[in-house]
Amino acid sequence: MTQHTLALDVKDLSLSFQSRTGRVPVLRNASIDIEPGEIVGLVGESGSGKSVMSLQVARLLPEDSAVVESGDVTVNGVSTRSATPRQMTKLRGSQIGFIFQEPMTALSPTMTVGKQLALAIRRHRGGSRRGVREQAIAALDEVRIKNPDIVVDQYPFELSGGMRQRVVIALAMVGNPSLLIADEPTTALDVTVQDEILKLIRQLAQDHGMSVLFVSHDLAVVSNLCQRVFVLYAGEVIERGTTRQIIDAPAHPYTRALVAALPRLDAAADLSPIPGEPPDPRNVTEGCIFAPRCPQRFDPCDVKPPTMDLRGGHHAACWLHAREEAHDAR
Amino acid sequence: MLKVVWQRLLMLVLVLACVSIATFLMARVVPGDPAQVIAGPHASHATVEAIRHQLGMDRPILVQYADYMNGLLHGDLGTSITTRHPVSDDLLAYFPATLELVFYAFVVALVVGIPLAILAAVKRNSIFDYAARIVSLAGLSMPTFWFGLVLILVLYGKLGVLPSSGRLSSSLPPPPHITGLYTVDGPLTGYWATFVDSVKHLILPVVALAYVQLAIVVRQLRASMISVLATDYVRTARAAGLSEWTVITRFGLRNALVPVLTIVGISFGALLGGAVVTETVFGWPGMGNYVVQSIESLDFPAIMGFTIVIATAYVLINLVVDLINIALNPEIRRGGGS
Amino acid sequence: MSMTALAAGRGIRRRSGTVLRRLTANKVTACALVVVVALVIMAVLAPLIAPYSPTAVQLAQRLEGLSSAHPLGTDEVGRDILSRLVYGARISIGVSVLVVAAAAVIGMLLGALAGYFRGWTDHVIMRAVDVVLSFPSLILAIALAAALGPSLVNAALAIAIVKVPVYARLAYGETLRVRQQLYVRAARTYGIRSSWIIRRHVLPNIRSSIIVQTTLDLGDVILLIATLGFLGLGAQPPSPEWGSMISTGWHYLIDQWWYPTFTGLAIFVTVMSFNLLGDGISDLLEPTSRD
């Protein structure tokens, strides 16, 4: 295949949480890849493991409870599984930038915006204390904050949610990362602010040639922003493809339900309309993971479907397409 | 910000009024008669009455109280029945010893407790964490006086390495009085032998007294640190690639400190209470020892004076804690400023 | 609205069936529970368990060391220390339970009244609470006990006075919260008697946090009783109260070390067990309150 280095390569990642009663699998053989400069969406219901996957990329999960069973995460060719904590710290901020869902609590309440930025600036750009303030103001300016010279001396509680999210983005951008992970960055915000933040992320990705992994439960938002989409269900990637392919020709019944639930006009959609609930990760049945909720389930679904290659980089893990292939062959 | 100060000071006035009234009344209602105590069990009725008159105890209660309050406002806490000195003089004489003990205990508790609590919270379920939890549990469950006795038994009785009682060996003269703290006055005046001896005498009582406070600090700070380390902003700091040291100190400790400070202020009360017990066990010539002796001789002016001084100190300490909390909390600071 | 209370009540009852199992799921808490139960049984059955009378003086056998006849030795007038410790558990545990119960009930009522009626009731009660809380608790207990005169009853009274405000403040905060609930506001609008609302809605809702506080306080109160006893402000000789035993045993520290040491150990183990059990219970009832 390609010889170039992927911005992010999650390969067959299986991850469990260690609980008192035993290990609970959260991700099962999940794979994701992102080309340099590409904006990729990761879609799934809450509990699908999408946040866990994104956090694991930066190894931000508590190491004593999150156990990697198999697979690896490679960022710009650097394996994070074998990295020491010190190497991981170095990787964070400089290779991987991270923004989170909840801007209201994402900044320390007892430090000014400028101080928090300054800590990161000194960390990643080194150098003297002189000019750090100017750099912090410039960083705020880059995320389109008005009056950055005032905001720099303000505390998070003095800022609105949208402003705080911009500050968090500025913080993530300090080290000029090659990969930005955005874990539901707009979910907690007003619709208008949402749009501004999405625009900002797209702009920054363009300006810096930065890849983005955009994690969301909202297929509408993802389809707006991303070039490719991965659909995660109960810890498994059940479909992946270009945004076009996913929206226009969803292959997996789950994705079809998601797409069907998309509002025709641009309003936020929710993933609720699929009857039933995701399986309890502690006792997942053999066979297709979606089968219990699937309207099109049939006999083969008792066996786990492999990922079927539909054309043009479009993949889905569903026996329906084996049947189609069989039909085609006949 | 001013509001906090006023509230605390108002509280102080209320506290002082209540203490003085309550203790004053009780001193005159309870069965133990100080005049009888002074006169001794076999004194004649006339002698007791004479002493009563001398103490002013035969006047109407309101007059006595007004008298007392008037004195109180002028810094006069009355006259001790046993020592015959003004209570304020007595307390002032014993104050440096207590201050020296409490101060070092406080410092030891914080210097040992804060790192231990942080280590326990950062390395949860590690050996440090278990040690911290056991240390704090034991400290909260152990009678201070018994811990003191065990220290004496082992380090004085069995090993003979440290003295068990007093501030100085009897062979040594105290250093010339500057602050009244031997560990300060000794080096200042060149009384080095006295200094070393006073440090030796301090070790056991300081350890005994520090332990409860240490237990409280460790328990609270550990819990506070654990919850702060689980917050979003600590995760943000980690995600931004900041070093673990920066994350723990600037983001973790800085935010964990605010709730803990309040507890430290309140637990200062445990330190003051513990000082009474510790001074008794170690024959430490401080205010606590003085009050216990006053209790035995039903010396109410002394007990009352002591209680007032301690309550005042306690309210003022918590005022300082409030002010530090305001300084640490930008939301209150800016809110009050604008 | 009484449906809510009913449902809440049923919820508590249904939970209690599994409370013991959930409590003992934590091994440490389970151990603490076993020790506490053993101590309580020991206290109740003291006459059956103690080998000697706690006050039987035998001057010929004074200050004896550890032996099979006197496993923990004898005191300065030849009384069996083990027997005195067994009887002492009655005093420490019994008095502390009484003190905490009294403080909790009085504090809960005061706090509920202040929080429910607000106005001057609130001012008077809560200012008094503030005043008491402005003292270091041990110092106030010492001062009160000294003023009342040294005896176990007075010491218990002093400690109860010190502890009441803790419960009053807790109940006050909870009552303010409950008061805002729709069903309480509705009940008030319909002119239902305040005493009924307080009894049926306010008190049941603040009970759980009060119970948690009592379990956390028991150990502390045992310590306070012992401390006052040690200072000569609590139980008076020849009472086998642990603190007062150390107060005399102290003089024999160097030569008959077991006398004060084992007595203190009894306090230590008892308080620690109560504290651990209290932590376990509070984790169970209010899991957010600690880690």
**DSSP string for residues in A185-196:** TTTTS-HHHHHH
Taking residues C103-130, report their average pLDDT: 92
Cβ contacts from B onto C, under 8 A: 142
pLDDT of residue C17: 58
B261 to chain C, closest Cα gap in Å: 16
Q: Report which residue type is found at A207.
A: D
Residues A222-251 pLDDT 10s: 998 999 999 999 999 999 999 999 999 999
Taking residues C30-46, report their average pLDDT: 94
pLDDT of residue C5: 39
- Is the minimum CB–CB distance between C291 and chain B shorter than 8 Å? yes
Which residues of chain A make contact with B334, given a CB cutoff of 8 A?
A: 155, 158
Which residues of chain B make contact with A157, given a CB cutoff of 8 A?
A: 330-331
Residues B43-84 pLDDT 10s: 788 888 887 777 777 777 788 778 777 877 787 887 888 888
The partner residue sitting opposite C139, judged by closest CB among B142, B157, B310, is: B310
Q: Answer yes or no: are the C-beta atoms of A253 and A294 closer than 8 Å.
A: yes
Q: Which of A118-122, A175-179, A209-213, B328-332 has the lowest mean pLDDT?
A: B328-332
The answer to whether residue B335 scores a pLDDT higher than 70 is: no
CA dihedral A230, A232, A236, A237 (to 10 degrees): -10
Q: At B30, is the pLDDT very low, low, confident or very high (cuts 50, 70, 90)?
A: low
**C143:B303 CB<8 A:** yes
Residue-wise over B216-230: b if at least 16 C-beta within 10 A, else e? bbbbbbbbbbbbbbe
pLDDT of residue B94: 95
A320 HSE (CA, 13 A, CB side): 18
The partner residue sitting opposite C272, judged by closest CB among B137, B268, B310, is: B137
Residue whose tokens read 């673990």: B244
Could you say which residues from 204 to 233 on chain B have a Cβ atom under 8 Å away from some Cβ of chain A? Answer: 231-233
- Is the minimum CB–CB distance between B131 and chain A shorter than 8 Å? no
Residues B240-297 pLDDT 10s: 999 999 999 999 999 998 888 888 888 888 899 999 999 999 999 999 999 999 988 8
pLDDT of residue C230: 95
pLDDT of residue A22: 82
- Is the minimum CB–CB distance between C233 and chain B shorter than 8 Å? yes
pLDDT of residue A1: 47
Cα A255 to chain center, whole Å? 17
Q: How far is it, in rounded angstroms, from Cα A50 to Cα A46?
A: 8
**B146:C268 CB<8 A:** yes
Residue B268's nearest CA partner among A292, C115, C33, C135 is C135
pLDDT of residue B78: 77
The partner residue sitting opposite B242, judged by closest CB among A102, A105, A123, is: A123
Q: Answer yes or no: are the C-beta atoms of A70 and A109 closer than 8 Å.
A: no
- Is the minimum CB–CB distance between C13 and chain B shorter than 8 Å? no
The token pair at B264 is 């430290």
pLDDT of residue A295: 85
Which residues of chain B make contact with A89, given a CB cutoff of 8 A?
A: 238, 241-244
The answer to whether residue B138 scores a pLDDT higher than 60 is: yes
pLDDT of residue A180: 95
**C127:B30 CB<8 A:** no
CA-nearest residue of chain A to B236? A106
CA-nearest residue of chain B to C136? B269
Taking residues B178-192, report their average pLDDT: 90
Residues C148-202 pLDDT 10s: 888 999 999 999 999 999 999 999 998 998 888 888 888 888 888 888 888 888 8
Share of chain A above pLDDT 90, in %: 52
**B240:A175 CB<8 A:** yes
**A85:B244 CB<8 A:** yes
- Is the minimum CB–CB distance between A124 and chain B shorter than 8 Å? yes
Q: At B7, is the pLDDT very low, low, confident or very high (cuts 50, 70, 90)?
A: confident
Q: How far is it, in rounded angstroms, from Cα A247 to Cα A242?
A: 9
CA-nearest residue of chain C to B11? C131
Residues B104-123 pLDDT 10s: 999 999 999 999 999 999 99
CA-nearest residue of chain A to B329? A110
Interface test with A, best of B224, B227, B231, B242 (most A CBs within 10 A): B242
Q: Report which residue type is found at C160.
A: A
Residue A24's nearest CA partner among A58, A65, A61 is A65
The partner residue sitting opposite B246, judged by closest CB among A106, A119, A157, is: A119
pTM as predicted: 0.85
The answer to whether residue C1 scores a pLDDT higher than 80 is: no
The answer to whether residue C11 scores a pLDDT higher than 50 is: no
What is the DSSP track for chain C? -HHHHHHHHHHHHHHHHHHHHHHHHSHHHHHHHHHHHHHHHHHHTHHHH-SS-TT---GGGTT--S-SSSTT-B-TTS-BHHHHHHHHHHHHHHHHHHHHHHHHHHHHHHHHHHHHH-HHHHHHHHHHHHHHHTS-HHHHHHHHHHHH-SSHHHHHHHHHHHHHHHHHHHHHHHHHHHHTSHHHHHHHHTT--HHHHIIIIIHHHHHHHHHHHHHHHHHHHHHHHHHHHHTTSSSPTTS--HHHHHHHHGGGTTTSTHHHHHHHHHHHHHHHHHHHHHHHHHHHH-TTT--
The partner residue sitting opposite B145, judged by closest CB among C127, C131, C246, is: C246
- Is the minimum CB–CB distance between B313 and chain A shorter than 8 Å? no
| H-helix segments, B230-329 | 232-239, 244-246, 254-281, 287-296, 300-328
The interaxial angle of helices B127-141 and C258-285, nearest 10 deg, is 110
- Which chains pack against A, by 3+ Cβ pairs within 8 A? B
A107 to chain B, closest Cα gap in Å: 5
Q: Is A204 exposed, middle or buried (0-12, 13-18, 19+ CB in 10 A)?
A: buried
Q: For residues B61 and C290, which has the higher predicted lDDT (pLDDT)? A: B61
The token pair at A139 is 């960083």
Residue whose tokens read 């679904």: A301
- Is the minimum CB–CB distance between C280 and chain B shorter than 8 Å? no
Residues A98-142 pLDDT 10s: 999 888 899 999 999 999 999 999 999 876 667 899 999 999 999
The token pair at A150 is 């005032």
**B242:A120 CB<8 A:** yes
Taking residues A160-188, report their average pLDDT: 92
Q: For residues B259 and A323, which has the higher predicted lDDT (pLDDT)? A: B259
Query: Is residue C51 reached through a cis peptide bond, with omega within 30 degrees of 0 on the bond before it?
Result: no
- Residue C156: Cβ within 10 Å count: 24
- For C203-223, give the secondary structure using H, E and C: HHHHHHHHHHHHHHHHHHHHH
- Is the minimum CB–CB distance between C148 and chain B shorter than 8 Å? yes
- Residue B120: Cβ within 10 Å count: 27
Q: Report which residue type is found at C30.
A: A
Which residues of chain B make contact with C261, given a CB cutoff of 8 A?
A: 149-150, 153
Helix (H) / strand (E) element for A212: namely strand A211-216
- Is the minimum CB–CB distance between C234 and chain B shorter than 8 Å? no
B328 to chain A, closest Cα gap in Å: 7
Helix (H, G, I), strand (E, B), or coil: what is residue B282? Answer: coil
Helix (H) / strand (E) element for B334: namely helix B330-337
C134 to chain B, closest Cα gap in Å: 6
- Is the minimum CB–CB distance between A162 and chain B shorter than 8 Å? no
- Is the minimum CB–CB distance between A94 and chain B shorter than 8 Å? yes
Q: For residues B331 and C155, which has the higher predicted lDDT (pLDDT)? A: C155
Cα C158 to chain center, whole Å? 13
The answer to whether residue A326 scores a pLDDT higher than 60 is: no
Residues B197-247 pLDDT 10s: 999 999 999 999 999 999 999 999 999 999 999 999 999 999 999 999 999
- Is the minimum CB–CB distance between B337 and chain A shorter than 8 Å? no
Average pLDDT, chain B: 87
The answer to whether residue B25 scores a pLDDT higher than 90 is: no
